[in-house]
Structure 1
């Protein structure tokens, strides 16, 4: 949908700029006018890590005039696998400073400002105020909510991405976009409540493939340029989800305009991942779904699908199917709990389950639905969140608790292939 550029054209291009940006000047959506807008643009990138590296490289190479780099960490050897801005000689240096040096080598015609600070409630408004677009490449919810809320207060668009293992997501939040873009969307339309710090897995604990960071970072950079120059259809109210294992991309609509509507899939899409705590960080698939042909229903339990041991920590989809059938016959008693967010459940769910999002697990309402002495089986999109919830609840009084390996995605693959995947 057409939208107005965020930035007015800056100074005339120099011969050096004409030469450097020649290949994108030929694009009708950019041209000389658009390149001058880029030259006048200011973008703040939060995090110079796995996502920040490709985002910063792309924006600086494209000629965004001023780029702020916010990062308080130092470069570690484990960063080098995916944080491609850095080299071995940067180990021990401040990331923001090392990134600024590397980006100056890439394009000396732009200004890169290293900001070696942690984002806090005391400084976030001042950080955000000076920039046209805020790009979130962070890996924790506290910073995301702080920066997003500041951007919302100041009317700034907020471009967001997340990666974990082989999966990634990207979208654009903008609380009050121009009327031509329709209803605004915010971070809380996707993640209604800020999860506790220990509810989401991180790259440090779960791992990540560096090339997935590059894929999602490129999407984020493109969305940023589209915002600045006013072309293309933005990922506003659309979550783009990438599954690197299946080499697929899929779109999920969210926000006020999408409530009550089924997710829209692009023609070439087939499946993708979800993420922790309403998908803050995508979770991986387990062997149960990657080793079986997709769309193969299970109708009768076999030796491998017999009822699991009563104290089994993780069930297969077919074991859960057998348990649900036994419960229907009055032979088993347990509570099946969906720990995802409501918007995920609207897409697909396992019949006979209760919705208790991760952030509500220890609430009084949750305890009423799943008393400590009941058998409880948890599931999420894949199994990252449910595994964490299982361990967390086991430490808080539940003695007979397990989760579904591969989550609802494996359930659909193995048991109900006609249901939606996301």
Structure 2
């Protein structure tokens, strides 16, 4: 549905602009006025990597008048399979400068500003203040929170995307958006620890997934500038590259209920939308309306390794009944696992496959590496009908140190 354009239109289009953007101007939702808005817009791209590459090329091609690029890294050969804005000739060059040169060569009608710098608390406000929209393609939560909080403070929309392996997420946060606005913490209430947050360097990523997610981020940006379509306010778009699906997960500002999804209802969420592949994903609740727990004695929030050892002994003796669920990735389980546990990776918690291991009526104990992912998973399950679910404090790392020291740690 139409919404208020973010940017006022600039001067009348030149003959060169009309010729270059003819097929875009011919769209009823863009038109002459929309193209003038694009020409007047100023967009800051934070991160010129796997997501920044498709976003930057799409925005430049669309005629966004001023594009700023923030990145402190240099081009490496391992970047090239997904960071398609670069070539072999750019190896060892600063990314912001190399990307800016590519955009200028592609579209001489726009201005590109290279900010070859690391985003810090000292410079973030000054950098963002000069732009209309912030687009974030970074791969760590420290930078994401820094960029988001500065954008919120300055009342700028913040378009966010994330990719890992075959999965991707896209949404738009804006404190001035509908229904009181949304913030990063509405979707991810707390930040995963550094040891829990995977990156593409650790887990890998399919380059074409970056292209798909980046294209949606660019589309979100263009929609905001011109005022067409329905931006992803309160909606997380989830790409599962393995089953070729896009799905939508509603979320809302803290204290308010998520809006009903406009997408067809799904009985489970794709592997991608689950918790963090960059551990961020693990905080996503996959059903629009949480199921209230049944009355009764609430399960403890966490148990210790010693308590779990006792429960496992009771289960072997037939005096205890529960399901111990390892929510880590298969490669982690190959290193070390707790005997008697079942593997349900975080990404599959609410899938039909997971229901064959654990049902809402079961007593469930979760564990991960250090306890961060399992703590989030506990909340996800409790919000979706599980009434007796807890997690192992300290994860398998604490278990090995205290209970089975002969097993490997990682």
Q: CA deviation at 1:322?
A: 7.2
SS at match of 2:189: coil
1:279 offset after TM fit, Å?
Answer: 6.3
List gaps (5 residues or longer) in structure 2.
283-322, 326-335, 345-352, 368-373
Once the two structures are superposed, residues 373-418 of structure 1 have per-residue CA deviations (whole angstroms, 9 ceiling, x without a partner) of xxxxxxxxxxxxxxxx54x445664649x9xxxxxxxxxxxxxxxx
Distance 1:105 1:354, change over 3 A: same
The residue matched to 1:160 in structure 2 has which SS?
A: strand
**1:225 aligned onto 2:222:** yes
TM-score (norm 2): 0.74
1:183 pairs with 2:180: yes
Relative distance call for 1:50 and 1:319 in structure 2 (3 A) is: closer
Moved over 6 A (4+): 306-310, 318-325
Alpha-carbon displacement from aligned partner over 1:102-160 (angstroms, at most 9, x marks no partner):
11111111111111111111111001100000000000000000010000000000000
Aligned partners of 2:196 and 2:279 also within 8 Å: no
Structure 1 pair 32/68, CA: closer, same or farther in 2 (3 Å)? same
Identify the residue that residue 130 of structure 1 maps to in structure 2. 130
2:249 is aligned to: 252
Q: CA RMSD in A?
A: 3.3
2:75 and 2:203 map into 1 onto residues whose CA distance is 19
Residue 12 of structure 1 deviates from its aligned partner by 1.5
| Number of the residue aligned with 2:389 | 353
Aligned residue pair count: 339
For residues 17-416 of structure 1, the aligned pairs below 5 Å read 17-177=17-177, 181-256=178-253, 259-260=256-257, 264=261, 266-267=263-264, 271-272=269-270, 273-277=272-276, 280-282=279-281, 311-312=338-339, 315-316=342-343, 335-336=365-366, 338-340=374-376, 344-345=380-381, 348=384, 352-354=388-390, 361-362=393-394, 390=396, 392-394=397-399, 397=402, 399=404
TM-score, structure 1 as length reference:
0.72
1:340–1:355 contact (8 Å) kept in structure 2: no
The whole-number CA distance in structure 1 between the counterparts of 2:225 and 2:324 is: 56
Kindly indicate whether the alpha-carbon contact (under 8 Å) linking 2:324 and 2:341 is maintained by their aligned counterparts in 1: no
8 Å Cα contact 1:276-1:282 kept in structure 2: yes
- CA distance in structure 1 between the partners assigned to 2:401 and 2:147 by the alignment: 32
Partner of 1:15: 15
